[in-house]
Amino acid sequence: MEAFNDFLGAVNGYIWTEWMLYILLGTGVLFTIWSGFSQFRALTHGVAVTTGKYDDPDDPGAISHFQALSAALSATVGLGNIAGVAIAIAIGGPGAVFWMWIVGIIGMALKSAEVTQSMLFRNTDDPDNPHGGPMFVVAEGMKEWGLGAIGQIIGVVFCLTLLISAVTGGNMFQAWSVGDITRETLNMPELYTGLILAVVVALVIIGGIKRIGSVAGVLVPFMCILYVIIAIVVLGFNIEAIPGVFADIFRSAFSASEAGGAFIGGAFGTAIMWGMKRALFSSESGQGSSPIAHSAAQTKEPVSEGVVAGLEPFIDTIIVCTLTALVILSTGALTRGEAEEGADGIFAEAPVISLQETKDEDGETIQHWTMGEPTMFTDDSGQESTFGVTPLPDRTERGVELGGEWKNEDNVFAIAQGGDDNEATSSNRVMMTGTVVIPEKSDDNPYIKWDQIKTDKSEVAHWSALADGGLPTLVAPIIYEDYKGATMTAYAINRQFPGFGNWLILIASWLFAISTMISWSYYGEQGIVFLLGEWAVGIYKIIYCLLIIVATAGIVSTTKEIGNLSDLGTGLMLWVNIPIMLIFGGTAMAAWHGYFKRLKNGEIKPADRG
């Protein structure tokens, strides 16, 4: 299994390159210009269509424009908006938010274009149960050109990648994550969480897209409004910090973010890269998933649903992601203040950082930094490794208030500095990461097991960006709990309302996971319909729900297996869908401009409400 995971990781390394980001961005700019800035249309005409102003009950389709938008949003608005933004800021600094905005706006054009294409080629043989998506676009589109066999093959490839994404990232990853968070918060076994989720999801998806649309039409507005209200309340208590936050965002968008407190700094290029990644991958723009939900919309005008779809990145990125960013930055969760102000533990004496050497599996010498007393550890396979160890300091009063007492396997870090500036951070600061160990025997003292931080910069993750030259020393004799992703957002809210952030993340995890799983179940269902036909849908739904239980039954020990498969499916979806968008872009844009010409001439009118 480990060899298979390593293979998938290597393949994903080739799929998920910076070139994918550049191609997505370039395609978005192309459709922005080609459509005559569709973003403006989405924010004006798109709102009118979504609110039902142009609805006609006699049009083909299964759900309303609003329900289709909600179903698509339920798959995109989720923990990624809470966790992904926090990661982008922690790595790229406040400037990442600016580039997130820019690409979020460009993503609106991507979304409008791909949904318009799917609406043009959707199958409405059964008006109450239409089928659409990139697989139908390429199959039907190429059939018209006499290349039906090629189109069918490409459609099959897309569906296979779609199914991988649906059952892994859209299903098992969500269930595993909720099970883990629920166990941490309520001490409830993961299997119980899986059983509850499986029943809830089954009750929804058994009713098909109409029930999915109805549930999403209630769940998505509720969870979005709940999160927006909480974020606005937190911002209200920190209103005096907002002007400075915006100043930092704009200043750091075009220069390096200065290191300070618990933040090791962010280079200009790092801010751009992580801001763009967050915006593009959060909204799933260009991935080809959302068009499947929108294809069920009740309308005879393909472009009208494309206009509605343009609202997705605006809601997902410009509103929800921005609120997360403002909460983190305004509460000081990124830097946590200077020196002891945000510390979770204070050493009586600063530990010494030393350079250690170990042998890898091939016998090659590896140099790494560690902190404290070098200690030999033996893992389950008998492999011996040397890690630094220091006694665990008592948690500070403020640390206990925000995060509780130390727990076994809590992740921590200390800030060191020395040597030359690092390209990823534009500073010479280093994160020395470690894990809290609380022995089962009460007589043994708890300690911190510090990670082996490799000196080879190419092998170091952004979380532990290293500097060249010189042995680092601690900036201050303090440690911080390492909040990553969603836990950083929870920590930011806890700084304003101690303890509340943990419960918010728990509730959000359940709501967002359920909404994501029901929408992705429909995406996978449409892939099954294309591959095998309607007869296989029932079997697919049973398997889909059983996999929820499998993910929480202890068979999957970490998210590595699921994550690698999910990344593979999602990455391949993008590489297949973008060429489809470009090939049929002319068809979509001709329909786009024709629609708005008819709208301007009065040929398309609001529905008569009597």
Domain boundaries, the chain: 22-333+499-598, 345-480
Instruction: Outline where DSSP puts E strands in 310-463.
Output: 345-346, 353-359, 365-371, 373-378, 384-391, 411-417, 429-437, 447-450, 453-454
CA distance linking residue 50 with residue 61, whole number of Å? 15
For residue 279, which amino acid is it? A
Residue with tokens 């911190």: 448
3-state secondary structure of 56: coil
Q: Are 289 and 295 in contact (CB under 8 A)?
A: no
Q: Residue 156's closest CA among 133, 172, 127?
A: 133
Cα dihedral 143→144→145→150 (10° resolution): -10
Angle at alpha carbon of residue 283, lines to 281 and 289, rounded to 5°: 90
Task: Give the C-alpha separation, 185 to 506, whole Å.
Answer: 8
pLDDT of residue 590: 96
In this predicted structure, what is the pLDDT of residue 359? 62
Q: List, as one string, the DSSP characters of 482-496.
A: ---THHHHHHHHHHH
d(CA 327, CA 224): 15
pLDDT for residue 375? 78
Q: What is the distance between the alpha carbons of residues 506 and 566, in angstroms, rounded to a whole number?
A: 23
Domain covering 22-333+499-598 assigned CATH 1.20.1740 in the classification: yes
Token pair 């709208």: residue: 599
Identify the residue whose tokens are 């082996």. Answer: 452
Q: For 8, how many CA atoms within 13 A lie in the half-sphere containing its CB?
A: 19
Say what the pTM is.
Answer: 0.84
Residue recorded with tokens 């409405």: 124
Residue 464 confidence (pLDDT):
40
Residues of the chain short of pLDDT 70, as ranges, are: 1-5, 79, 338-340, 357-367, 378-383, 419-421, 423-424, 442, 454-470, 555-563, 565-566, 608-610
Contacts of residue 188, Cβ cutoff 8 Å, sequence gap at least 6: 182
Instruction: Please give the structure tokens belonging to residue 214.
Output: 């109805």
pLDDT at 409: 82
Q: Looking at residue 457, what is its pLDDT?
A: 47
299: nearest Cα among 118, 152, 448, 159: 118
User: In a 3-state reduction of DSSP, which class is residue 193?
Assistant: helix
CA distance 440 to 519: 43
Are 20 and 575 a contacting pair, CB within 8 Å? yes
